[in-house]
Amino acid sequence: MSETSSENSRNTNLNTHIFPYRTLAPGEIRVLTIHPPRTTDRNEPIRCSLDHCPLLPSSAARTFPRYEWGDYFALSYCWGADAQNPSRKITIDDHAVKVTENLEAALQTLRASSMSTAGPWPVRFWVDAVCLNQSDSEEVKAEILRMRDIYSQAAGVYSHLGLATEDSDVGFRFMHLMAEGLFQSADMVYRELVDRRFSGKDPEKNAYKAMLRLLNRPYWHRVWVLQELAMS
């Protein structure tokens, strides 16, 4: 399993020290609001605001938003190869903050998604690279201990596997077909495999390869992913 020390520790050279973080009060988390684009350009620079919000223990509410301040989703993603030297910039409360290329792509996707499903309340996200003051090692240590609460109490968790490729959709469709196949009887699956083996025809070969390419992405090579998904 290929991992860098930066991915394991979630400690990078992100220049977040230029952002004036306020100290978290007990029970608070920071959540990121992604502002709508000003133009139709999907690649328009990301503009956000960062708010302190109380995270109540195991909210029993079943309707959204669950909190007076709204609600939030968590993001699970791979920081990427430029984690030690972030190559992109976003704006948070009028401050320029460096982020990795992969995080910028994830935020662009989240912006498009939240615009298409906008509700009557702000859609906020918990994103470790910016919602934690990465320059404050004591805060990072303390918040890591709260990760279970942050992920389990999120309204949902978005997994960003990386940028789409020409066969990403094919791979995802094949995954769904495979999942549906789990409900078939073992006998049906065996007969289908035998038919393919001796007919020499496998129309889903390319789809299978597309699925493997998705599963071989760096996202799945991080220990943090397993922890985040388990806590979700």
For residue 137, pLDDT beyond 90 = yes
Give CA angle at 164 (168, 50), nearest 5°: 135
Please enumerate in sequence order all residues whose Cβ is within 8 A of that of 167, keeping only pairs 6 or more positions apart, or say none.
Answer: 206, 209, 210, 213
User: What does the pLDDT look like over 38-63, one tens digit per residue?
Assistant: 888 888 999 999 999 998 765 556 67
Same domain, 198 and 225: no
Tell me, what's the pLDDT at 205?
73
Same domain, 135 and 197: no
- Letter for the amino acid at 123? V
Same domain, 112 and 202: no
b/e map of 174-207 (b: 16 or more CB within 10 Å)? beeeeeeeeeeeeeeeeeeeeeeeeeeeeeeeeb
Tell me, what's the pLDDT at 199?
55
Same domain, 134 and 184: no
Same domain, 178 and 94: no
Same domain, 128 and 223: yes
Domain count, the chain: 2
Same domain, 50 and 118: yes
User: What does the pLDDT look like over 187-213, one tens digit per residue?
Assistant: 665 566 556 555 555 556 788 788 888
Same domain, 93 and 145: yes
What is the residue range of 33's domain?
5-162+217-231
Tell me, what's the pLDDT at 120?
54
